[in-house]
Homo-oligomer: A and B are copies of this chain.
Amino acid sequence: MATGRTHRPATRSRGIPEATVARLPLYLRALTALSERSVPTVSSEELAAAAGVNSAKLRKDFSYLGSYGTRGVGYDVEYLVYQISRELGLTQDWPVAIVGIGNLGAALANYGGFASRGFRVAALIDADPAMAGTPVAGIAVQHTDDLDRIISDNGVSIGVITTPPGAAQQVCDRLVAAGVTSILNFAPTVLSVPDGVDVRKVDLSIELQILAFHEQRKAGEEAAADGRTAVDPDTEEAPPMRATPAGRKGPDGDMPAVMPA
């Protein structure tokens, strides 16, 4: 830039769209790969392809961070890596606590991708007294009773919940009370938290159900296109009408057969 404009356009900094924030890690990953291959610069077109997004979208996203590109050339890889890292807050250390060391919790503790970007598994917490002291991924599991102290002592502000659904809200409350203000929830439960606390949820079951919806739709369309009997759910109707006013579902649990008058 001619005038070396490194200053924010006033209130612009607070206005990074959420959708853009969600894509920054994607760009960062692609840029890191380029960096490792010692590629000095990339065009928006190339980077967009690597990140799997539209190039116009990418340019607009970067424009929110400031103008870090050079027209006619592209973006400097190393510089962008730094800028995005800084914007995402990855230049600092983020101690993370995982609560609920079952199959999933243990897998996450062992997951390499975790530590790779400034996130450090600072503590593993479980409600089972028998697990206390057991090392998982090289870290001794601690008991829930000490949750408060553990969070405080380690300065944890990001908590990961991998408990059974029944315990999630309670654990969440305790984490928040202890000072955690960001939560990544793997339990299939809707967590309620006070203002100022961010919750992001990862739900395998929901993802699969969304895929199933599209899968079913594809199957229906395909059958229709083949001239065969459509399997389209809207055509297939024949829903279960009322059985008995007090009818309950069977022990199976998922195939009801009741409907109001």
Tell me the A residues contacting B by CB distance below 8 Å. Answer: 2, 6, 8, 13-14, 21-22, 24-26, 28-30, 32, 35-36, 38, 41, 49-52, 70, 73, 76, 78-79, 81-83, 85-92, 94, 96, 103-104, 106-108, 110-111, 113-114, 116-119, 157-158, 181-184, 188, 190, 192, 196, 198, 200, 202-218, 220-221, 232-234, 236-237, 239-240, 247-249, 253-260
Q: Which residues from chain B contact A116 at a C-beta distance below 8 Å?
A: 205
> Which listed residue, B36, B73, B90, B256, touches A78 by the CB 8 Å rule?
B256
> Which listed residue, B2, B35, B76, B108, touches A204 by the CB 8 Å rule?
B108
> Which listed residue, B14, B257, B260, touches A234 by the CB 8 Å rule?
B14
Q: Which residues from chain B contact A253 at a C-beta distance below 8 Å?
A: 32, 36
Assembly CA distance A247 to B232 (angstroms): 59
A90 with B207, Cβ < 8 A, contacts A76-B258, A107-B104, A260-B79 known: no
CB distance from A105 to the nearest CB of B (A): 9
A113 with B211, Cβ < 8 A, contacts A190-B26, A259-B78 known: no
